[in-house]
């Protein structure tokens, strides 16, 4: 290349740099005429209508309130009823918290490994049996042991028998222990249902009112009691039949 044709020699005499992008190439005449016509006619097509704020909100509301339609032709759903919103069956749990402070636990289910929990039927899982804190918090240590002993004997946990004899001395709270046992059996079991539906206390006629008052003292209106004291044999039989026919 000749020195006179080099870029450094062809630059202006003052040496100022000139950007090549300052002078854009001229567009063809046809493009300029087409653009001028589009400007005169207002664009290449009809402009979208301008909507007010209220009309725009109504349009959006109409779109959002349309019923959902599955975008598959000739689609037949597998379920004919609605499935959304259906509640899952609640997990089985004890009636009272077995880990609460001063909780009297009468039955503890067997511990299962994580592998066994996956194979086990959760609908048949056993739960803790915990004495109602209303009674458990007022029991003395010897009464707590007595309630646990009676529960294990009555439910057959101590051997091949069901039942026991409560033979404590007078003044040690045998009545409260029996009420606690009955209330627990009437309310819960390891299978998440009452162990028994009804209970009958047979005692001398002079103690009937005493038992009735003790149930009202410790449980109030939580349990329905029927005291049968005196009356003819026919009246007693009729009251017993009504008691057994009652669901609660």
Domain assignment present for residue 111? The answer is: yes
Q: Are residues 120 and 186 in the same domain?
A: yes
Burial of 35-60, coded b for 16+ CB within 10 Å and e otherwise, reads eeeeeeeeeeeeeeeeeeeeeeeeee
- Beta bridge partners of residue 107, listed in sequence order: 129
How many domains is the chain built from?
2
138 is in which domain, residue-wise? 89-196
pLDDT tens digits along 211-227: 999 999 999 999 988 89
Residue 140 has pLDDT above 70, yes or no: yes
pLDDT at position 73, please? Answer: 78
Q: Are residues 164 and 222 in the same domain?
A: no
- Beta bridge partners of residue 105, listed in sequence order: 130
pLDDT tens digits along 170-222: 888 999 999 999 999 999 999 989 999 999 999 998 999 999 999 999 999 99
Q: Are residues 220 and 239 in the same domain?
A: yes
Q: Are residues 184 and 213 in the same domain?
A: no
Q: What is the CATH number of the domain that holds 153?
A: 3.40.50.10810
Q: Are residues 188 and 93 in the same domain?
A: yes
Q: Are residues 189 and 118 in the same domain?
A: yes
Per the model's pLDDT, the better-predicted residue between 17 and 67 turns out to be 67
Q: Are residues 125 and 179 in the same domain?
A: yes
């Amino acid at each position: 290349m000749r020195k006179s044709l080099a870029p450094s020699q062809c630059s202006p005499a003052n040496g100022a740099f000139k950007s090549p992008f300052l002078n854009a190439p001229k567009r063809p005449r046809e493009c300029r005429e087409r653009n001028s016509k589009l400007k005169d006619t207002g664009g290449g097509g009809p402009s979208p209508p301008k909507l007010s704020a209220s009309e725009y909100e109504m349009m959006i509301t109409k779109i959002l309130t349309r019923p959902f339609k599955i975008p598959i032709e000739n689609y037949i759903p597998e379920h004919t009823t609605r499935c959304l919103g259906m509640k899952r069956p609640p997990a089985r749990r004890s009636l009272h918290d077995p880990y609460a402070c001063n909780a009297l636990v009468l039955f503890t289910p067997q511990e299962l490994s994580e592998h066994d929990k996956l194979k086990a039927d959760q609908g048949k899982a056993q739960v803790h049996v915990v004495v109602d804190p209303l009674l458990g918090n007022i029991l003395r240590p010897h009464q707590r042991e007595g309630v646990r002993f009676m529960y294990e004997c009555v439910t057959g946990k101590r051997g091949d028998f069901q039942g026991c004899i409560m033979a404590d001395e007078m003044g040690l709270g045998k009545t409260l222990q029996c009420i606690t046992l009955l209330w627990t059996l009437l309310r819960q079991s390891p299978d998440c249902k009452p162990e028994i539906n009804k209970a009958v206390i047979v005692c001398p006629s002079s103690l009937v009112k005493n038992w009735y008052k003790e149930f009202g003292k410790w449980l109030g209106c939580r349990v329905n009691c029927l005291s049968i004291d005196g009356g003819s044999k026919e009246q007693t039989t009729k009251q017993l039949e009504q008691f057994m026919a009652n669901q609660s």
